Amino acid sequence: RLGGLSHFDFCVCCGYLRRARSVVAKAFKEGGKKGVEIEGAADTSGLTCFCTRMQSSDGNIKLLEAAMEGMNAVPDPEDPEERKGCSGHIAKLIISENEKAGAIAMVAYVPEDMKDKLNAIEWMKSVCETDLGGGVGGAPDDSSTDVWATCTAVEDKENFFFLKMKDNTLSAAIGYLREKGLFQDDESDDEGDNAAADFEW
């Protein structure tokens, strides 16, 4: 027996840990790739904030946090061909849904040098409390800070319905940026081209 576990139980635990690490690594990798795309968009358009959905986190807040960490990862200077992350200077709100559980996980990140313009908790609140049709619901977790906020909103089938919540999250997150003057798109009256308006959000 190993630490009170039978050999079978020990092998089951090891298998579970390997699968868990693999799922986390997948979420981190997706974030790393998306981070490079965001960096490229920022270089061409000057965008400072970004909102998007992530595919690998399955509505799990811990996996979504891993994805955000992947987005913010600092690239290895000795391996320039394998760039990952690179977008720690961009404020981001990312979203992941789990339709079966009726849950939507969200993580908001604000770089330190943008704290005077944007607050992660307030950004998250604006999504949770949106008055867009059907709303979103939820509230920032107690562990949230001005630069890192998390939330998992769950449908209750009385006030909040998953499909409407899903439709509203991204629009509410971008709408708050517009109100703060941090998102320039095709509706802006500013002169000049805006490459960010053509980027797939």
CB atoms within 10 A of CB 52: 17
Q: Does the pLDDT value for residue 161 go beyond 90?
A: yes
> Amino acid identity of 103?
A
Q: Does the pLDDT value for residue 11 go beyond 90?
A: no
Residue that is written with structure tokens 């490459």 in the block: 195
Rounded to 5 degrees, what are φ and ψ at 152? Answer: -125, 110
In 3D space, the residue among 106, 100, 148, 154 whose CA is nearest the CA of residue 127 turns out to be 106
Q: Does the pLDDT value for residue 43 go beyond 80?
A: yes
Least confident of 7-16, 110-119, 128-137, 163-172: 7-16
Residue that is written with structure tokens 């630069």 in the block: 147
Q: Identify the pLDDT of residue 17.
A: 55
Average pLDDT over residues 87-105: 96
In 3D space, the residue among 110, 103, 106, 112 whose CA is nearest the CA of residue 173 turns out to be 106
Top-confidence range, 19-23, 82-86, 123-127, 163-167: 123-127
